[in-house]
Every structure is written in C-alpha cells, then in structure tokens.
C-alpha cells in the first residue's frame, strides 16, 4: 500500500512539471496590455510623491544597528567615509533608503533588485571572453523586489551627485530624468526580444561609446583604457613587495592588515583551509580544476567600499605557473540584504553569500568565473576576483562636467533596464512605464525631494559626529 502511495506521489509531481512547461504563455502584447492596465491602480504621476511619516526612523540609529554585526575597530572608518559628502552618505546608507522606499506604492512587478542602486555602482568589467562590458558592479544587497526599488534610488542618486558637484536643481532633475527615460526606452526594446537573446545580451564598450556625446566618449575611453590595465599583474605590483624571493601583501593599516589569527583565535591559514572546503563546493567541476592549479602565497584583511566598511573581507594572493601568473581572490562577508525586511517572502536563504552570487548571475551578463560562496564559523561569505579589469566613473568637482553627467546617467538607466529584463518581465514593466515622459517627470520630482532628505540625513550624521555620539576616524578614510 505504501509503495502504491509513493508511486502516485511521484506521478503527481511529474504531472506538475509537465503542466508547468506545457501551459500556454501570455503573448508580448498581452503582457504589455496588462502592464498598461496597472496605471489605473497606480497612476505614474504618483511616483513623484515622497512624504516621510512622522515616525520615520532616525537614520543614524539605523546605521548604529547595522554596526552591531561589524568589526568595531572599523566602524569609525565607515563614518569618516560617509561624512565626506551627502553623496558619500547616500552610498553608505542603503538601509536608510530601503526603509524609506518600503511604504511607497509599487506596481507589484518583481525583479531581482540590486538593492543598493546609485550611480557609483556601475562600471566596466571583463567578461569571461576578456571583453569590457558595462553594468551593475555591486550586488551585496540584491534581493527580489519591485523594479521601482531600484529605479527611484538610482534617479535620486543622480540628483544628489549633481548637487554634490555644485550644480543646480535644473541639472539635478535633468540627470534623474535621463536615467528614467533611458530605462523606459530600453525596457521596451527588451520586451520584444527573445528570452535567450535578452539573456545573452551585454552592453559592450562599443555600444557605450556610440551612445554618448564626443566629450563623454573621450572620458569613457580613458576609463576603459585604465580598466584594461587593472589586471592581476597590476595588483601584484601595487599591493605586494618581494620578500625573500616571494611576493607578500604590503600592510597599509587599517585598510590592509596581514594577520596571523582570526578574531576567534584560529590560525588564518587554518581558517582559510576550512573556508575553501566550503567555497569549492559552490564551484562547478571545471572551475575547481582550474583553481586547483594555483598555490596560495599570502592572505590579508582588507577594508572595502563605503557601506561595506566593517564587514569582514580578506584578499588571497595565489600563484600559477610562476610569479607572472598571479590570481587575487577577494573573500567578502555577506550579511542579510537591506531589502529583506520589506520585500515579499521568498524561499529560505541557505547562505547570504549564495544569495549574492545567485542574484549577480541572474542580472549580470558575464559574471566572474570564480564567483562562489562559503561559510566559516557561522559567518557567510562570497568570493570574486579582485579588480580584474574593473573600472568606473569618479564624481569630482572639476572632473565631471554638466555635459557628461546626463550621458553617464543615460547609460546607467540602460544597464538597469537590461538587469531587470533578465530577471523580471520586461513587457509588463514596459506596458506600465509607457512611451510618454509621465514617469520621467514624476521620478525626477521624487529624486529632488529625496536629495533634500539625503542632505538632512547627512546633516544629522555631521551633528552626531560633532556631539560625540559616533566615533569618526581622523585622516584615515582613504
């Protein structure tokens, strides 16, 4: 009797899979129409509204709660970096933005959201075929969420950076509008592409340079030329010294520290051995075989990013055939996404590093071949190559002019549209955003309002530093 019941269960499960794949799919036109119909539920003009409630959480308190799980000696460095400007504050406060976005209305169309979307989270990187492509380059906060939770923060960041560069609200709104316009136009193009064609699509350097003005093209060519030089050999030259005929990572305290033991007292190399067992299981057999050919030479702790400061991060130097065949891997702690408390429930996450890797593979066209995850003493990590032909735009007064900023924002909106097309339903989104400038104008208005909020929050952090509420590293925030 039990055997018959088990056989029926297997047959039922098999039928579910068959039904899943033989069921009719709605056409592109039907999905476009369904997206358009959502405007009746949520008019596009309503995206202009940013109205924080009287019970809005103190942004400094949100940052303090995050610091509870970080290395305490590095928290002052995090604050120092965030105090450089309102834009630096925005880069380090994804948790604040997530809390502010949570009560805002959305269409309910889900994508694999980046979760920390701002104009500095884009750049060029090398594909597995060693071509430079442009796209999102930070996935620590990635999580399933509404597409608006990426587009609105990206537009707001454009307004904040424009103001930080000394430009007026006219350019700030224009930069935000360029992001939304580009997103809207490109998501419509992706809506009519085949699924495989979309999956294989990347934004290569030729496409980027062809889409911008002459001045922006010259700036882009310099960024790409610099990225091509950022190889493992260049990192070897910059980060190491030759000691007793062996390369060793050079200390630059507190940003790069060579330690013999972990915070738990375990030998660094013993801990690394334990971690690598976990990490290798996340790689395909071919990548394990490739990595097995390398020898570990040195390891050091490294401070990275703005919002990530205080999370655990290590750099491993490995050697292949000889000293001219180096490989640098970065092991970075993965904590729960800032979107997780607010997003619809999903299947349980077995490892936060796995979440980061899965999200990156879903929305980035050519992910790192050594991308993987692991765990050590309950701390979850993901692994990627260090630098490896990565490059990005730097926003500095005198170096980012008012003519090139809108061009850069256009390309960022394009890359976000591609990411959402890979992970969501581009036709549904395209139907909603439409062909008119209604959404552009609405989110540009939101962006200016949120830029005001960011400046107020930045002021609160400055006040907290002056009062002694928070400790700030002095002269050590490089």
Tell me how far apart the alpha carbons of residues 211 and 343 are, in angstroms, rounded to a whole number: 34
Please list the ranges in the chain whose pLDDT falls under 70: 1-4, 6, 9-14, 261-262, 264, 306-307, 365-366, 397-400, 475-478
What are the two backbone dihedrals, phi and then psi, of residue 241, each rounded to the nearest 5 degrees?
-125, 155
Tell me how far apart the alpha carbons of residues 238 and 242 are, in angstroms, rounded to a whole number: 11
Closest CA to 162 of 149, 150, 176: 176
> What's the pLDDT at 6?
67
Beta-bridged to residue 144, according to DSSP, are 112
Tell me how far apart the alpha carbons of residues 385 and 393 are, in angstroms, rounded to a whole number: 20
> What's the pLDDT at 289?
94
Helices 169-191/28-41 angle, 10° precision: 140
> What's the pLDDT at 71?
87
Residues 133/355, Cβ–Cβ less than 8 Å: no
> What's the pLDDT at 3?
67
Per-residue pLDDT tens digits for 26-57: 999 999 999 999 999 999 999 999 999 889 99
Q: Which residues contact 254 (CB under 8 A, 6 or more apart)?
A: 73, 74, 77, 303, 473, 476
Can you say whether the dihedral through the CA atoms of 224, 86, 102, 342 is positive or negative? Answer: positive
Can you say whether the dihedral through the CA atoms of 187, 134, 423, 66 is positive or negative? Answer: negative
Percent of the chain residues topping a pLDDT of 90? 61
- How many CB atoms are located within 10 Å of the residue 164 CB? 24
Tell me how far apart the alpha carbons of residues 453 and 104 are, in angstroms, rounded to a whole number: 15
Task: Report the 3 state secondary structure along 382-434.
Answer: EEEECCCCCECCCCCCCCCCCCHHHHHHHHHHHHHHHHHHHHCCHHHHHHHHC
Residue 238 has, within 13 A of its CA and on its CB side, a CA count of: 11
CA 336 remoteness from chain centre: 14
Q: Which residues contact 217 (CB under 8 A, 6 or more apart)?
A: 209
Q: Which residues contact 43 (CB under 8 A, 6 or more apart)?
A: none
Q: The tokens of 439 are what?
A: 């959404």
Q: Which residues contact 253 (CB under 8 A, 6 or more apart)?
A: none
> What's the pLDDT at 478?
47
- How many CB atoms are located within 10 Å of the residue 403 CB? 12
- Residue 38's SS3 state is helix
Beta-bridged to residue 301, according to DSSP, are 257, 314
Beta-bridged to residue 328, according to DSSP, are 317
- How many CB atoms are located within 10 Å of the residue 419 CB? 25
- Residue 257's SS3 state is strand
Q: Which residue has 């993987």 as its token pair?
A: 372
Can you say whether the dihedral through the CA atoms of 205, 207, 210, 213 is positive or negative? Answer: negative
E strand map for 180-231 = 203-204
Per-residue pLDDT tens digits for 262-320: 676 777 878 888 888 889 999 999 999 999 999 998 898 888 776 678 788 889 999 99
């Amino acid at each position: 009797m039990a055997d018959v019941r088990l056989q029926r269960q297997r047959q039922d499960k098999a039928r579910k899979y068959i039904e899943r794949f033989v069921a009719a799919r709605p056409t592109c036109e039907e999905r476009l129409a369904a997206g358009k119909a959502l405007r009746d539920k949520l008019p596009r003009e309503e995206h202009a509204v940013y109205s924080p409630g009287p019970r809005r959480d103190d942004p400094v308190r949100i940052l303090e709660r995050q610091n509870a799980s970080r290395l305490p000696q590095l928290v002052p460095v995090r604050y120092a970096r965030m105090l450089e400007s309102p834009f630096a504050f925005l880069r380090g406060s994804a948790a604040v933005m997530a809390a502010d976005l949570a009560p805002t209305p959305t269409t309910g169309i889900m994508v694999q959201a980046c979760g920390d979307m701002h104009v500095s989270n884009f750049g060029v990187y090398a594909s597995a075929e060693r071509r430079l492509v442009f796209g999102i380059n930070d996935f620590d906060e990635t999580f399933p969420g509404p597409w608006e939770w990426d587009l609105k923060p990206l537009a707001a960041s454009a307004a904040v950076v424009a103001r930080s560069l000394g430009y007026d609200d006219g350019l700030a709104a224009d930069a935000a509008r360029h992001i939304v316009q580009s997103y809207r136009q490109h998501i419509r193009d992706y809506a009519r592409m085949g699924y495989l064609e979309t999956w294989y699509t990347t934004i290569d350097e030729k496409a980027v340079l062809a889409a911008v003005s002459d001045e922006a093209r010259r700036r882009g060519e310099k960024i790409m030329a610099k990225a091509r030089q950022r190889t493992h050999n260049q990192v070897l030259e910059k980060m190491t010294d030759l000691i007793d005929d062996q390369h060793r990572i050079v200390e630059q305290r507190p940003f790069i520290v060579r330690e013999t033991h972990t915070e738990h007292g375990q030998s660094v190399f013993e801990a690394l051995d334990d971690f690598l067992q976990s990490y290798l299981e996340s790689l395909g057999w071919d990548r394990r075989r490739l990595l097995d050919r390398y020898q570990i030479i040195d390891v050091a702790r490294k401070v990275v990013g703005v919002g990530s400061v205080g999370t655990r991060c290590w750099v491993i130097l490995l050697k292949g055939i000889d000293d001219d065949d180096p490989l640098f891997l970065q092991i970075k702690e993965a904590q729960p996404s800032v979107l997780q408390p607010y997003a619809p429930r999903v299947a349980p996450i077995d490892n936060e590093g796995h979440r980061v890797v899965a999200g990156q593979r879903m929305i980035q066209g050519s992910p790192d071949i050594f991308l993987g995850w692991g765990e050590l003493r309950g701390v979850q990590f993901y692994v990627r190559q260090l630098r490896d032909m990565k490059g990005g735009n730097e926003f500095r007064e005198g170096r980012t002019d008012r003519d090139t900023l809108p061009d850069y924002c256009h390309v960022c909106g394009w890359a976000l549209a591609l990411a959402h097309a890979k992970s969501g339903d581009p036709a549904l989104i395209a139907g909603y955003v439409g062909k008119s400038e209604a959404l552009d104008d609405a989110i540009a208005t939101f962006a200016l309002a949120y830029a005001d909020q960011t400046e107020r929050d930045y002021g609160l952090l400055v006040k907290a530093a002056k009062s002694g509420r928070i400790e700030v590293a002095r002269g050590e925030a490089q």
